[in-house]
Structures are given as C-alpha cells and as structure tokens.
Amino acid sequence: MHRLFAELEPSLTVTEQNLADRVRYILRSNIFDVAELERLRREAVPSSDENATAEDAAPKMVEQPANVDAAVNTPVVVDSSDDGTVTQELELEHMRSTLEEAIVETRSTPLENRPRLPRIALSKRNRAVVRALNPMLVTCLEASGDLCETDSILFGAALAVCRIIGAKVSTAGRATGHSSAIPAWRRRIEERIAKARALIGRLICFRSGNNRPKIVRTVRMAFAGTNVSLSQPDITQKLTERIDDLKQRIAAWGKRIRRYTEKSTRFNQNRLIQSDQKRLYESLERPMVSGTGPAPNQADTVVRARKPQRGPLDGSCGESVCGYYTHGSRHHNAG
C-alpha cells in the first residue's frame, strides 16, 4: 500500500505507519461508503495495470480492515475485542503528538534540569501504552546521529509515557529534587521510630486478644528468626519483652536526634560567631574616615573583640552552646 501511494503521489512524503493510521481512520469512521471508495479508487488509478493492482488491494481494505492492522503491525492499545472506534485513533494521535513534544522538550533541556521520572506500576494499561509507543520510536532512533540524541529520544519517550498514563512528574530539576528542611539522617531515624511505634501497636492488639490475620502476620514477622511460637504458653511475656525492647529503642533514637540537633545548632552558632569576629576585625583594619563622627574607644573595642576568643567555641566550656549572644558582650569564661 505504501509503495502504491509513493507511485501515485511521488511529491508527498509520508511514512508507512502514518499512511496505515490514516487508512484505518477512514475505514473505521465510515467517512466513505464502499461505493464511494470504489469510485475514488478508479479515479486515482486510471490505467488497467494499476487498476488490477488496486482492485487486489481495495477489497482487502474494505472488506477486511483487520488485515490492514496485521499488515502494518500496528499495536492495539485497548482490548482486542474492541470494534475499533474513532476514540482509538484519537488516542494514537494524542500519543504521537505527546511523544514528539516530549522529545523536543528533552532536546532543549539541559541534563541537570531534567525532571525525575517516577516508577510506574506494571499494569496492563501501562504496558499497552509502552507497546504502542515502541513502534513510533523506530523512525526517531534511525535518524539519531549520536548517543546524546539517542538519550534525548529515550528520555523523551519515558516522559511521554508518564504524561499519557497521568503519572506525577516533578517539575524541579535534579539539583533541587531532594532539597528539604529536614536532614536526611533525621528523616531516617524518624521513619524507624514510626515503624517501631506501629509495631508496638500491633503487638499490644495481639496481646489483648486481637487475632486478625494482618495482626498475626505482623507478630510473626516481629519474632522472625527466633524460637518464639505464637502458641507457646509464655507468649504474653515474650510480647511484653518485645514491646519494652522497642520502647527502649525509640527512646535511644529520640536521644540521638536531640544530640545531633544540639551538635548542629552549636556548630551553626559557633560559625556565626566566627563570621562576626571576622567582620569586626576587617572593620578595625579599615582606615577611619574623618568627619563621620567621634571615633570609638579603641580599648573597649579591643576588649569586646577579644573576649569571645577566651572561651572555646566548641562548647567545651561546660555550656551546651557558647552563649556569646545570650550573655551579651561578657562571656561566662571571661576574666
């Protein structure tokens, strides 16, 4: 069919896939009936030889539209029992336009500003979308000149899949993808605490007589790797010991968070003090401009600048945090 179209219209450049999609759209939307298609075929193919070739091809297109799908190997997104409506054709056009837009967008976007793609579920619909987009990538990959172009095409295809299935894609780039006010170490410890508290709740429910399957599975996982059986007589004591152990772990994790927080706060305050001292020394080294007012007392300035240095800045003076700003200009270790 594509060869015949190229012979009839040599001035038009169209791919085999696009031509097959247009033929299927015309056949399934019933824009022309059988008689109209036959008349158009005879007008387009005036010679007898071409008529014979077209007569062999036209009945197949009119009477057996499913054979056209098999001939062009067009993937079907919906169920195979679907009668092939206009909606399917519109979906294919939408997929193709989304793919082209995603590839163009990826080519013009720097690598560090590309969005992070989420992990999508391996559902039947998602797999069908991927199978539908794979044949569309053949032409793009054949025209690729280097690895960078191939990478842009593949990333654009993955981005198009996410947009078609409605997956949420982060708009921020890779550099700001993981920015958060809470440090990573604190999030990890808080996740451990949350899981331990949930496990304590399940153990307490089982100890109080709740024997739901979900509760029983959780209790068995809690005692996995031990010789504890849920049917043994002292299971209540084992549950109590396990709950107490989890509570002790939660308390230890909470102390670790407080200790790390105090250490971080102390470090930030000491760094702030050092930066203030540096600015003060730089202001003392600059020459005094005449006419700007009375000059400050040099002795008071030197005493104020040197007093924070007498106490250690790492908190080893006995205080949790060096209280230069808390106690004013006179430090607690000042002589």
The structural domains of the chain, with segments of one domain joined by +, span 2-72, 86-165, 181-275, 298-335
Q: Tell me, what's the pLDDT at 63?
A: 43
Q: 244 and 203 in contact (C-beta within 8 Å)? A: no
Q: Tell me, what's the pLDDT at 86?
A: 57
> For residue 37, how many C-alpha atoms fall within 13 Å in the half-sphere facing its CB?
17
Q: Tell me, what's the pLDDT at 254?
A: 93
Q: Tell me, what's the pLDDT at 221?
A: 87
Report whether pLDDT(306) > 60.
no
**Which residue shows structure tokens 């999609």?**
21
Q: What is the mean pLDDT of residues 253-269?
A: 90
Mark 131-165 as b/e (b = at least 16 C-beta within 10 Å).
ebbeebbeebeeeeeeeeeeebbbbbbbbbbbebe
Q: 309 and 270 in contact (C-beta within 8 Å)? A: no
- Give the residue, 77 or 211, on which the prediction is more confident: 211
Q: Tell me, what's the pLDDT at 44?
A: 65
Q: What is the dihedral of CA 320, 323, 324, 329, to 10 degrees?
A: -150
Q: Where are the alpha helices (DSSP H) in the chain?
A: 2-8, 16-29, 34-44, 48-63, 65-72, 86-107, 124-133, 137-142, 147-165, 184-207, 213-222, 235-285, 298-310, 324-327
Tens digits of per-residue pLDDT, 325-335?
A: 444 444 444 44
Distance between CA 284 and CA 289 in Å, rounded? 12
Q: What is the mean pLDDT of residues 74-98?
A: 62
Q: How far is CA 25 from CA 31, 83, 164, 192, 294, in A?
A: 9, 12, 21, 56, 90
- Give the residue, 68 or 120, on which the prediction is more confident: 120
Most confident of 87-101, 265-279, 280-294: 265-279
Q: CB neighbours (10 Å) of residue 304?
A: 14
Q: Tell me, what's the pLDDT at 58?
A: 46
0.75 cut: is pTM over it? Answer: no
Q: Tell me, what's the pLDDT at 199?
A: 92
- Least trusted range by pLDDT, from 64-68, 203-207, 248-252, 283-287: 64-68
Distance between CA 166 and CA 160 in Å, rounded? 10
**Which residue shows structure tokens 């001292």?**
277
Q: What is the mean pLDDT of residues 169-193?
A: 73
Q: Tell me, what's the pLDDT at 257?
A: 92
Distance between CA 272 and CA 155 in Å, rounded? 44
Distance between CA 173 and CA 110 in Å, rounded? 10
Element (H, E) at 167: none
Report whether pLDDT(32) > 60.
yes
Distance between CA 301 and CA 219 in Å, rounded? 67
In the 3-class helix/strand/coil scheme, how is 303-328 assigned residue by residue? HHHHHHHHCCCCCCCCCCCCCHHHHC
Binned at pLDDT 50, 70 and 90, residue 12 comes out as: confident
- Give the residue, 12 or 227, on which the prediction is more confident: 227
Q: Tell me, what's the pLDDT at 284?
A: 85
What are the φ and ψ backbone dihedral angles of 45, each rounded to 5 degrees?
Answer: -120, 90
Distance between CA 163 and CA 157 in Å, rounded? 10
Q: What percent of the chain has pLDDT over 90?
A: 13
Rounded mean pLDDT of the chain?
Answer: 73
Binned at pLDDT 50, 70 and 90, residue 46 comes out as: low
Report whether pLDDT(79) > 80.
no
Most confident of 4-18, 20-34, 227-241, 244-258: 244-258
Q: CB neighbours (10 Å) of residue 61?
A: 19
Q: What is the dihedral of CA 70, 71, 76, 81, to 10 degrees?
A: -30
Residues near 323 by Cβ (< 8 Å), separated by ≥ 6? 331, 332
